[in-house]
């Protein structure tokens, strides 16, 4: 089969012919219909410091995909050949304290496909059957692929009450823009999108943002206070990982507010814990992946009901052979979700 291989410890990747992966007990083989490029894949493609410390080459990378089950391993009964599926990309152990208490999304032994195991930028992928989510066959493959990152947005937004509350989304990359849509669909009274990229701010507007703030041109904290009558926002969804933006998020949060953090800073950050967390009585949530499988049920509900429409988010489509153009588009910052079709 054709697969996109991270072939060396450096920039780029290669399209190669590799064997179709064998199916073991409890696993299924999926014929991949669509894959979507994630920021993590960009880190691997460009080979930054994080990728160099984590990824072993050569390997097939990529972790967001959808497809059709074509083969079942021994012991698989809840999936049938022909089922349309998406993948929960965190493979967990099932026996650590976190897994046993129903918190598998923070499993201490998590492995991520396309990072720690062979991935999905290929014609076929093998997954544990328990990691596959069965989809409505009418759901377009690219939407089904994007369910995984949409799940990050759902988990972040719904980690606390949101209906009737003002929400700031800091960082309007694809997951941040999805969080805008989720917050709006969940009844937020205002959804304020913050970014320095005008393209992505306009995408956030398309997905339901009620206010846009270009943090390069305006004071984000002052704008947040102005838009909330001086009180500050009730909920901050921090999706940027930028040190300055994170500090601004804590500053714009109202007393008793909630900040849910998905963005990943590259360095430690100094915060005013006394004034921005303790004296505010703030709730701070660290968000990892998706709750298994509560978040998937919520995500499917948003898509199947039409309350969240990902169509505006799918901005660029390429064949797997044109992967370089797809990654170039992602790096440019002028895209939503970029799809590769095997």
Residues marked as catalytic: 40, 43
- Cβ neighbours of 199 (radius 10 Å): 15
Q: Is 41 annotated as a binding residue?
A: no
Composition of the chain by helix, strand, coil, percent to 5 = 35, 25, 40
Which phi and psi angles does 72 have, rounded to 5°? -115, 140
Q: Is 64 annotated as a binding residue?
A: yes
**What Å distances lie between residue 328 and 42, 45, 236, 238, CA to CA?**
9, 10, 30, 25
Which phi and psi angles does 91 have, rounded to 5°? -95, 120
Supply 242's token pair: 């930028």
Taken in order 241, 243, 246, 248, is the CA torsion positive or negative? negative
Q: Is 96 annotated as a binding residue?
A: yes
Q: Is 95 annotated as a binding residue?
A: no
Q: Is 172 annotated as a binding residue?
A: no
Q: Is 63 annotated as a binding residue?
A: yes
Q: Is 75 annotated as a binding residue?
A: no
Q: Is 263 annotated as a binding residue?
A: yes
Q: Is 198 annotated as a binding residue?
A: no
| CA–CA gap between residue 48 and residue 44 (Å, rounded) | 7
Query: Which residues have CB under 8 Å from 168's CB, separation 6+?
Result: 192, 194, 224, 233, 235, 236, 237, 249, 252
Q: Is 120 annotated as a binding residue?
A: no
Q: Is 192 annotated as a binding residue?
A: no
- CA neighbor of 66 nearest in space, from 42, 91, 83, 44: 83
CB 29 within 8 Å of CB 67: no
Q: Is 217 annotated as a binding residue?
A: no
Q: Is 262 annotated as a binding residue?
A: yes
- The DSSP output letter for 118 is -
- The DSSP output letter for 56 is P
Largest CA distance in the chain: 61
| CA–CA gap between residue 26 and residue 45 (Å, rounded) | 31
Tell me the DSSP string of 319-342: EGGGHHHHHHHHHHT--SEEEEE-
| CA–CA gap between residue 22 and residue 3 (Å, rounded) | 15
Summarize the annotated binding site for Zn(2+) as residue ranges. 38, 63-64, 93, 96, 99, 107
Annotated binding-site ranges = 38, 63-64, 93, 96, 99, 107, 175, 195, 200, 262-264
Q: Which residues are annotated as a binding site for NAD(+)?
A: 175, 195, 200, 262-264
């Amino acid at each position: 089969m054709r697969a996109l291989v991270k072939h060396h410890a450096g920039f780029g990747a290669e399209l190669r012919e590799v064997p179709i992966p064998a199916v073991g007990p409890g696993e299924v083989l999926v014929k991949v219909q669509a894959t979507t490029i994630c920021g993590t894949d960009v880190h691997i493609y460009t080979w930054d410091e994080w990728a160099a410390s984590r990824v072993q080459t050569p390997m097939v990378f990529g972790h967001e995909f959808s497809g059709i089950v074509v083969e079942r391993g021994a012991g698989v009964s809840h999936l049938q050949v022909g089922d349309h599926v998406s993948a929960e990309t965190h493979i967990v152990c099932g026996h650590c304290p976190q897994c046993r208490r129903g918190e598998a999304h923070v499993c201490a032994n998590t492995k991520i496909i396309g990072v720690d195991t062979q991935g999905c930028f290929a014609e076929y992928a093998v997954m544990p059957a328990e990691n596959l989510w069965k989809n409505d066959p009418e759901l377009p493959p690219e939407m089904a692929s994007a369910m995984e990152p949409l799940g990050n947005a759902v988990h972040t937004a719904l980690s606390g009450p949101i209906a009737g509350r003002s929400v700031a989304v800091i960082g309007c990359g694809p997951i941040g823009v999805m969080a805008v849509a989720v917050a709006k669909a969940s009844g937020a009274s205002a959804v304020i999108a913050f970014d320095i990229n005008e393209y992505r701010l306009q995408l956030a507007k398309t997905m339901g943002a009620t206010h846009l703030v270009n943090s390069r041109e305006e004071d984000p904290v002052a704008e947040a206070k102005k838009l909330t009558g001086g009180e500050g926002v009730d909920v901050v969804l921090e999706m940027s990982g930028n040190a300055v933006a994170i500090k601004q998020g804590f500053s714009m949060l109202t007393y008793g507010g909630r900040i849910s953090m998905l963005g990943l800073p590259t360095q430690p950050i100094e915060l005013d814990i006394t004034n921005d967390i303790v004296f505010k009585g703030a709730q701070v949530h660290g968000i990892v992946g998706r709750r298994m499988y509560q978040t998937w049920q919520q995500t499917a509900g948003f898509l199947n009901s039409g309350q969240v429409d990902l169509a505006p988010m799918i901005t660029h489509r390429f064949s797997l052979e044109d992967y370089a153009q797809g990654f170039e588009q992602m790096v440019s910052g002028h895209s939503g979700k970029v799809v590769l079709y095997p």
